[in-house]
Amino acid sequence: MAATPYRREELLISVIAGKLAGLSHVATGASSPIPGAAALLAQHRSGGALRVSVLGSRTNNPFTSGGVELFDCAAQGRLDAFFLGGGEIDGQANVNLVGTGGYPRSEARFPGSFGSSYLYFLVPRVILFREEHTRRVLVPKVAFISAPGTSPRGTYRPGGPHGLLTNLCWFDFDRARARFVLRTLHPGVSAEEVRDNTGFDYDTAPDLAPTPIPDAETLALIRGKIGRGIADAYPAFAEKVLGVRLDHAA
């Protein structure tokens, strides 16, 4: 039986949802429609046991003071997973959200660090997510460290990087060795393509495998209940990418 056609974004949603299984509380920050939809999919699979906080959502956000309460949850150990992107990410999982070309007179400016370093230190499972997989983004060394991927021995740090998802593959992150490990390749992507487009060095898992694709049931959920759930925070994404009719979104 032929697989049901899927969009790249739906594949990424499915992959992320699988990384959230068994957790208690997941939060997503600004400009995170794919992680937000993935968290809602994981919540559905958990039978509602997973608490999801989508900042900017009216229906999937219990907080009344935005990031302040989110930071409190992280400090109290009540947040299991979060997501970080970056204008640059290097092989030690350092993230640059400030800019390139020298600081403070950067040639290119990114959105800013906000609470990225704070959450990176406290949240046990931080998933790095950046759709663009190029040597422009995945660099040998970031120009500015907004949030460090590793810390010196003896540093109190319950949180840190769990892995990196791009439009080409999934990398695990080995915290003990401070090094990424290529774990799965998305359909149609070769190991050579990943190597050619990655600026940092990494290891390849001996059991490198294809990234699991979403089945028909998962796709129906994403295009239905999950799409409607993420629509209040990301209406354009829900409509244009997931095909949700906004007059039926709730």
Question: What confidence tens digit (pLDDT) does each residue in 99-156 have?
Answer: 998 877 888 889 889 899 999 999 999 999 999 999 999 999 999 999 999 999 999 9
Do 38 and 239 contact (CB within 8 A), yes or no? no
The answer, yes or no, to whether residue 224 has pLDDT greater than 60, is yes
Do 52 and 63 contact (CB within 8 A), yes or no? no
CA 115, CA 240: separation in Å to the nearest integer? 30
Look at residue 232 in the predicted model and tell me its pLDDT: 92
Percentage above 90 pLDDT, the chain: 83
- Taking the model in full, what pTM does it have? 0.94
Grade residue 2 by pLDDT with cuts at 50, 70 and 90.
Answer: low
Question: What confidence tens digit (pLDDT) does each residue in 170-212 have?
Answer: 999 999 999 999 999 999 999 999 999 999 999 999 999 999 9
Grade residue 64 by pLDDT with cuts at 50, 70 and 90.
Answer: confident
Nearest of 39, 81, 31 to residue 60 by alpha carbon: 39
Look at residue 85 in the predicted model and tell me its pLDDT: 95
Let me know how many helices (H) and strands (E) the chain has, helices first.
8, 13
Q: Which CA distances in Å does 185 have to 6, 83, 85, 113, 192?
A: 16, 20, 20, 30, 11
CA 137, CA 130: separation in Å to the nearest integer? 8
Least confident of 24-28, 48-52, 105-109: 105-109
Instruction: Provide the β-strand partners of residue 52.
Output: 26
Look at residue 106 in the predicted model and tell me its pLDDT: 81
Which bin fits 183, alpha (ψ -120 to 50), beta or left (φ > 0)?
A: alpha
The answer, yes or no, to whether residue 1 has pLDDT greater than 80, is no
The answer, yes or no, to whether residue 223 has pLDDT greater than 50, is yes
Question: Sheet containing 81-84: which strands, arranged edge to edge?
Answer: 51-54, 25-28, 81-84, 125-129, 161-165, 169-174, 179-185, 203-210
Grade residue 17 by pLDDT with cuts at 50, 70 and 90.
Answer: very high
Look at residue 250 in the predicted model and tell me its pLDDT: 44
Question: What confidence tens digit (pLDDT) does each residue in 87-98 have?
Answer: 999 999 999 999
Please list the residue range(s) of the chain that carry CATH number 3.40.1080.10.
Answer: 84-213
Question: Selecting from 1.10.357.10, 3.40.50.300, 3.40.1080.10, 2.170.130.10, what CATH number does the domain 84-213 have?
Answer: 3.40.1080.10
Mean pLDDT for the chain overall: 94
Runs of H (alpha helix) within 147-234:
191-196, 216-221, 227-230
